[in-house]
Structure 1
Amino acid sequence: MMPSLGLKASTSLEQINERLQYKPSVFEFYTDAHDMTTNGLAHLEEMVKYVQSTGIRHIVIHHPMAYDHHHNEVGVSALKDPAGYQFMMSSADALIELAIKLNVQVLIHGGYSDKDAVINAFGDLETARKVIFARLDYFQNIGGHHVMFENSISPTFDYGDEEIEEAVIAHHYRLCYDISHAFIVLHGDNDKLVKSIAHLAIQTVHYHFVDSMGLQHDSLQLGKGKIDWQQVMKVVNPKATNIYEIDLEDQNDSREMRASHDYLTNLLVKA
């Protein structure tokens, strides 16, 4: 598979225009809590339409990652954090409705919390996973082919974990596979990473290409970490889209994402 130039931006027109000048074929919107207000959703809709007007067909809206200074967690306890639960559900519902209207995609993160936080919220990991999968089933039911679910380094939804992988296959989920997250879960083992990517490839519709040292969440430019990209690209789903989800020095300059695309493209051309 030869990668697409997939870029990510907030709903800021300055960021969007900076990305559009490089003519990406895939565009992902990073949203936050402010985008979930009435005015924010109206602005988001206009920005999606604006990107579509340039001819870009593959557009993904990333569910907000944070709410009230903590993660916007699918596995939030409705009893212990009713406000967080309400935001998580209402924001997902609103984005799915918008995605259906505009014929784009919504990406929902399967989990963020570490094991201690999960146990504090639900008592044990098994219960947390049951709650999360029930909610993902609901999102899939209302969103259909407009919804995908991304893996985490959280034990609630981590690709690389055979139990989770078998569950997402059984539930027929459409997947976003973040390469670095799985690499971290697998403690930097490239062989296990390639096995996991291959195992889930048929259900993967979107990739986050991002490098890592395999120790912690570091979001490195491709070629700056330890992921074996030549082997990874042999097993990804060639029909899936991708973006480069790299930490940027300047949010208004996509150079690290574009450099990652150049690195990967050159690597595959020489292979």
Structure 2
Amino acid sequence: MISPLLGLKGSSNRQQIDDRLQYHPDVYEFYTSINDFTSEGFQALEEAVQYVQSRGTSKIIIHHPMFFKKWHTELVAPERDFPEIYRFIESSTEQLIDLAQKRNIQVLVHGGYAGKEVQKMVNRYPSVEAARQAVYNRLDRFARAGGNHIMFENSIAPVFSYGHPEQEDEILSHNYRLAFDTSHCFIEMHGNNQALQASLKHLQEHVVHYHLVDSLGQAHDSLQLGKGKIDWIHVLKLLNPDATNIYEINLRDQSNCREQVESHHYLVDLVSKLNQGE
């Protein structure tokens, strides 16, 4: 039975960073926004990375921004129809890869998000398969550029989701370094724990990072561990022991990561009980 790492998430805001660092996390994942990609914002982000490293946390991931203006940063967005989104994704990913290689850290890019807007974008293609291939083409380029400094996370969207064995086989054929969000897969599988476990097992060797998040399995709820319906005893047995993890939990107060830390304590207690044979 593996013992999960203490992985916390926050922005480059010093108050948030210091709140997380008081717990001496093994992993820090930066949330980013479009504001981090101005000249001044990106310099502040790099300085924040150096600050976290100087405080003893060496495992650092930067999460590519979720939004560009009013849109999710959907990789499936065709350049001809969404030129601004397309170019922002290209330039911001290139910047993050450069920073990751310079500071020996990791970049996380979403293969997709969810909702009506992604469906509008998928509908611009002749088929879902064609839309999915467009996403793979971009991920292939990013993977070549980022090497061992980039990973790709699953969504609740038809273009890059886990839980469907045939899609997973196609993803595995690209040899991507994967990030696995437990809640996204659980929701995609409509709250089916057996399907989540099958996906964790199938992809295990290619997963380098986990977002450990609970859910009721119906919508994107980002619950504290133990507050949803995920069977964490079986999940623990299927995690790649060489991967990192964070607790990507909704917080009541962004300057206080209490729900993330309590999620870690929940898993640590579970591991302890399992090791004692309870």
Matched with 2:249 is: 246
- 1:164 and 1:63 map into 2 onto residues whose CA distance is 23
- 2:37 and 2:273 map into 1 onto residues whose CA distance is 44
Matched with 1:79 is: 80
Whether the aligned pair in 1 keeps the contact of 2:155 and 2:162 (CA below 8 Å) is: yes
- 1:112 and 1:128 map into 2 onto residues whose CA distance is 14
Deviation, 1:119, is 3.1
Matched, 1:162 2:165: yes
2:153 to 132, 147, 150: 150
Deviation, 1:121, is 3.0
Q: Which runs of 4 or more aligned residues in structure 1 lie more than 4 Å from their structure 2 counterparts after TM superposition?
A: none
Query: What is the aligned residue count?
Result: 271
Matched with 2:262 is: 259
Q: Mapping of 1:98-117 within 5 angstroms?
A: 98-114=99-115, 116-117=119-120
After superposition, give the CA deviation of every residue in 1:240-269 in whole Å (9 maximum; x if it has no partner).
Answer: 000000000000000000010001110111
- 2:229 and 2:104 map into 1 onto residues whose CA distance is 36
RMSD between superposed Cα atoms in Å:
1.0
Deviation, 1:168, is 1.6
Deviation, 1:164, is 2.1
Matched, 1:95 2:99: no
Deviation, 1:66, is 0.3
Deviation, 1:153, is 0.6
Deviation, 1:122, is 2.2
Matched with 2:144 is: 141
- 1:120 and 1:252 map into 2 onto residues whose CA distance is 40
Matched with 2:17 is: 16
- 2:79 and 2:120 map into 1 onto residues whose CA distance is 14
Whether the aligned pair in 2 keeps the contact of 1:158 and 1:185 (CA below 8 Å) is: yes
Matched, 1:221 2:232: no
Gapped regions of structure 2 (runs ≥ 5) = none
Deviation, 1:113, is 3.8
Deviation, 1:120, is 2.7
1:131 to 119, 125, 134: 134
Whether the aligned pair in 1 keeps the contact of 2:76 and 2:122 (CA below 8 Å) is: no
SS, match of residue 76 in structure 1: coil
Whether the aligned pair in 1 keeps the contact of 2:111 and 2:159 (CA below 8 Å) is: yes
SS, match of residue 122 in structure 1: coil
After superposition, give the CA deviation of every residue in 1:49-83 in whole Å (9 maximum; x if it has no partner).
Answer: 00000111110000000001110111111011101
- 1:181 and 1:191 map into 2 onto residues whose CA distance is 14
Q: What residue identity is the alignment partner of 1:68?
A: K
- 2:46 and 2:122 map into 1 onto residues whose CA distance is 37
Gapped regions of structure 1 (runs ≥ 5) = none
Whether the aligned pair in 2 keeps the contact of 1:118 and 1:125 (CA below 8 Å) is: no
SS, match of residue 148 in structure 1: strand
Deviation, 1:116, is 2.8
> Percentage identity across aligned positions?
51
Whether the aligned pair in 2 keeps the contact of 1:118 and 1:124 (CA below 8 Å) is: no
After superposition, give the CA deviation of every residue in 1:144-167 in whole Å (9 maximum; x if it has no partner).
Answer: 000000000111100102232111
Matched with 1:178 is: 181
